[in-house]
Amino acid sequence: MSTPPQPSADRVVIAVFDGLRPDLVTPELTPNILRLAARGTWFRQARSVFPSVTRVATSSIAAGAPPIVHGIVGNAFYHRAAIADRMFDTSDAALIRRAEAHHDGRLLAADTFGDVLARAGKRLAVVHTGSAGSAHFINPRARANGHWTFSMHGAGATQTPEAVVQATARLGPLPERELPRLQEVAYGGRVMTELVLPELQPEVALIWFNEPDTTFHYRGLGSPEAMAGLREADRAFGAILDWVEAQPDSERIAVLAASDHGQISTDSIEPMFETARQAGFDLSAAKLIEDAALVATGGISGEIRLAGGDPAEIARIADWLMRQPAVGHLFSRDRNGIEGEVPGTLSLALTGTGHAERQPELMFILKSSLAADRYGLPGLGAMTPGDVPLGGGMHGGINPHELNTVLILGGAEAGTVSQEPAGIIDIGPTVLGLLGLAPAASMVGRNLAQPAREEARVTRHSAGMGAFTQHVDVVEQDGRRFILGGGQ
């Protein structure tokens, strides 16, 4: 067993900006994030996981590992063993409670950095302005760990409703919902600076800003409303930095800023599931599970599962998908570490998604490009029909602008921009290492405050069938694998 690192901090503050792309970290929009970068290390090549959606990313931050380890394989997925009657929407607090009961409190099937902190007698406090699911998965055993999670969605959206009671008693009622979420971002920042940091004084405090992600989706990445949301999140973060810097022991308080994924703009809506039904497939993308042979989820990426039909239907629909012009990538269960068991597909294990018990039969990604959107931001892609309007931002695939995340560690080699492989799975191990704690055995990520042991290796993996070709570029180092992007 390796020796735990010597602690370099007594407390750690983490700020997560949901959906923030690194190319939007600018002096005009995010002066406070850049203020942290000026006195720390910016890991400019940091990556999310696949699928690059929020609850999968949240779980990966908590577990320090990709979904192949922790088992949260989508924002929504069919988890027959726990919830047989409907798709498991991982933002739904009631469905989470059902699934947790089935798994005896281990729905996220790996130790988290919150679990490690609890075993060491240390506390984690979370201030969350995102969905109930995201608030849950960042510390899924908060109640058992004796920790504290505030949710902007109210007392029913957290395991520790007393956190909401405590915050509202101090700061007043929760703000009304609006777009952009300016009041929610500001309120969350106040919970941190007026309650969590000065009074609760946990060893680790995490705030999750729901902007710019929310307004990216519904108004567009470069819209004035999205920029206003981002500026407000950065302003709230600046107040947190002010508080830290005013403390007499500020040199012992480490600060980390991150995002969970990026986003790209949508330029087409592909009615893929309706087209599949017209082609003769008994497929349903409905929330309720009825009697279809195949069930699916959508977005920029999605999954297809066998619900009770002939297993040969998987190969048949895979062949059909590979002949659809909108489909860029197709993955199936692992055959040899690179290729999937369905000819022409790549392996779910290659992407870090092939959880032994919860992986789907197939996952697809619709095509995207690096072309500029209407605001001049690179990244355009297709999506299946949903509530996000055409032109709105989306994520879930492996376009570089979906995968590339913000990751800045304050106090480490001030003003440095690192091109080393890094990603959201490194956040938990880094936090633990700063406090002198060893990572959980299931953690794949590494402590970014320490140098890497190996040189990085970049590899392209390809597969295809007939006219359909696909590739995925990955970088590997120190037992970690990050997807750089992919193409057709």
Q: What is the pLDDT of residues 218-239, one digit of tens each?
A: 999 999 999 999 999 999 999 9
| pLDDT tens-digit map of 131-142 | 999 999 999 999
pLDDT at 1 (0 to 100): 45
pTM to 2 decimal places? 0.98
Tell me which residue has tokens 């959980």.
440
* Domains along the chain with CATH numbers: 11-263+394-434 (3.40.720.10), 266-391 (3.30.1360)
pLDDT over 60 (residue 361): yes
Sheet holding 368-372, edge to edge: 368-372, 378-383, 264-269, 393-394
| Average pLDDT of the chain, as a whole number | 97
Distance in angstroms (rounded) separating the CA atoms of residues 208 and 407: 14
Per the structure block, which two tokens stand in for 52?
């690059």
- Give pLDDT, residue 2: 56
pLDDT of residue 143: 98
Residue 5 binned pLDDT confidence (cut-offs 50, 70, 90):
confident
pLDDT confidence of 72, banded at 50, 70, 90? Answer: very high
What's residue 65's pLDDT? 98
Give phi and psi for 91, each to the nearest 5. Answer: -95, -10
Cβ atoms within 10 A of the Cβ of 261, count? 29
Q: Is the pLDDT of residue 312 over 80?
A: yes
pLDDT band for position 411 (cuts 50, 70, 90): confident
Q: CA-CA distances (angstroms) from residue 396 to 49, 75, 90, 149, 158?
A: 9, 9, 15, 26, 25
Residue 276 and residue 317 in contact, taking contact as beta carbons nearer than 8 Å? yes
